[in-house]
Copies of this chain bind each other. A is one copy, B any other.
Amino acid sequence: MFSQIIERASRAKQTGLRKELEQLCLRMLSEGGSSNSAHIAGGIIEAFATLDARAKLAFFEFLDRSLGLDPVRVLEAATRYAEDPVAERALEVQRVTEPPRQELLRRINRAPGGTAAIVAMRRDLLRVIGEHPQLRAVDSDFRHLLASWFNPGFLFLQRVDWQSPAALLEKIIRHEAVHAITDWSDLRRRLRPDRRCFGFFHPQLPGEPLIFVEVALLDAIPRSIGQVIGGDDDATAPVANARVAAFYSISNCEPGLRGVSLGNFLIKQVAEQLRRELPSLKRFCTLSPIPSFRAWLERLDIDRLPEAWQARARAGVSTAVRELRARHGTGLEALAAQAAAGAVGDDDQRRLALCAGVFLACESTTGHADPVARFHLDNGARLERINAAADLTSKAIDESLGVMVNYLYDLDAIEANHERFVRGEVVRSRSIAGIT
């Protein structure tokens, strides 16, 4: 009883706050471009921060309903424009087809801390959008503006190393999503002289990495993650002779920027910068997981492969899969256990590489594509080499049975590769072309 009363009071208060917030928004939009809006914008940011989850949802619904498009005005303008497509009427169309909430966000952005506040708002929005698909139109406006503001041309690339502020390094530890950083000593090893870490930063969010990539400078393209992380500080190789830069981890830090593509730009800018700094570098590659490989392999049905691949797959892959399943169970449990123990035999390693090669080569342009493969191939990389028994951590076993891939970035070929990929072709090294 009592707690119900309290909750009702609290909810009433939240509703009041939310309505005030909505009034502020409407008032700011009514200002004819006045600079006072920076002041109101500050109030909006503060007010939003006091809302609880339920009130925030209601506010997002307000953005949807009250600050969206007006179908009648849209249709009128479109009709007039179709009748006589002159500049003036085109402008009228654009005016009525941009939802007022876009202007609202632009004005919020004028306040100190505005950009960070908008990113945070979108974080909240993305949390509820799954259950409230009608908010996708609202989210589209957030994403549209953030993509424009977090344009790679506005970001700056910054090296992260042991001279970086501890507050920044702490965020690197927290956000590393591919190969977890266990502690400060582990981080220190990843920032030693023959390793590199670079992040993208926005001028309005100093000290906040948006995305970062970790690179190992090596003699040769690495076959396993053990060649890259772990081990001892003192084993630093002389950087001036490194021939290969291996991108082994790329992590987004800001969920509020989901859908704003930064990774592809980051990899290329880092490759360019390393090429300038270290002329000895001849090859830029990745060492990447295949997160959806095991699931694909367990459920593989040759008949559902793209037609062009079925004949080839029947010749090689189907035998390999049959044998793997026969020896290790349909769920490949025994194989996974062996992989975790580092005890996969040579034959099974060959089989796994064969299957992974076919998976990556034939599915990368279908709906079953591996997301990592899709990212790098669309980005213009070449499928270079499959490495079985390359990562024995439990996540890697669960997802990809320990297999890792090298994608190769040949900076002079990435445009051509990308275009071939867009036309449905996966560019492969000769060795992979051989097995697939």
Q: Enumerate chain A interface residues (CB-CB to B < 8 A).
A: 31-36, 38-39, 64, 68-69, 71-72, 74-75, 77-79, 81-82, 85-88, 90-91, 93-94, 97-99, 106, 109-112, 114-115, 133-137, 140, 144-145, 147-149, 151-154, 156, 162-167, 169-170, 183-184, 188, 203-204, 207, 261, 264-265, 267-268, 378-380, 414-415, 418, 422
Query: Do B166 and A87 touch (CB < 8 A)?
Result: no
* Residues on B with beta carbons closer than 8 Å to the beta carbon of A133: 87
For the complex of A and B, 10 pairs with smallest distance between CB atoms: A78-B78, A35-B264, A97-B97, A87-B137, A203-B203, A75-B82, A71-B82, A163-B165, A109-B153, A114-B153
Of chain B, the residue at the smallest CB distance from A64 is B87
Query: Which single member of B82, B151, B265, B379 contacts A72 (CB below 8 Å)?
Result: B82
Best-surrounded residue of A99, A167, A268, A380 (most CB of chain B within 10 A): A167
* Residues on B with beta carbons closer than 8 Å to the beta carbon of A148: 106, 145, 148-149
* Residues on B with beta carbons closer than 8 Å to the beta carbon of A93: 69, 74, 97
* Cα A34 to Cα B166 with chains together (Å): 34
Best-surrounded residue of A90, A135, A378 (most CB of chain B within 10 A): A90
* Cα A50 to Cα B313 with chains together (Å): 53
* Cα A34 to Cα B264 with chains together (Å): 8
* Residues on B with beta carbons closer than 8 Å to the beta carbon of A162: 165-167, 170
Please give the distance in Å from A369's CB to the nearest CB on chain B: 14
Of chain B, the residue at the smallest CB distance from A118 is B153
Query: Do B422 and A32 touch (CB < 8 A)?
Result: yes
Given contacts A36-B414, A79-B78, contact A153 B265 (CB under 8 A): no
Given contacts A153-B109, A162-B166, A378-B34, contact A82 B74 (CB under 8 A): yes
Query: Which single member of B87, B110, B134, B147 contacts A265 (CB below 8 Å)?
Result: B110
Given contacts A136-B91, A165-B165, A203-B203, contact A35 B265 (CB under 8 A): yes
* Residues on B with beta carbons closer than 8 Å to the beta carbon of A156: 203
* Residues on B with beta carbons closer than 8 Å to the beta carbon of A91: 136-137, 140
Please give the distance in Å from A3's CB to the nearest CB on chain B: 27
* Cα A20 to Cα B258 with chains together (Å): 35
Of chain B, the residue at the smallest CB distance from A39 is B415
Best-surrounded residue of A38, A115, A380, A422 (most CB of chain B within 10 A): A38
* Cα A134 to Cα B90 with chains together (Å): 11
* Residues on B with beta carbons closer than 8 Å to the beta carbon of A204: 153-154
Given A90-B137, A106-B147, A106-B151, output 4 extra A-B contacts at Cβ < 8 Å: A71-B81, A72-B82, A148-B148, A154-B204
* Residues on B with beta carbons closer than 8 Å to the beta carbon of A34: 264, 378-380, 418
* Cα A207 to Cα B162 with chains together (Å): 12
* Cα A422 to Cα B36 with chains together (Å): 13
Given contacts A34-B378, A268-B38, A422-B32, contact A163 B153 (CB under 8 A): no
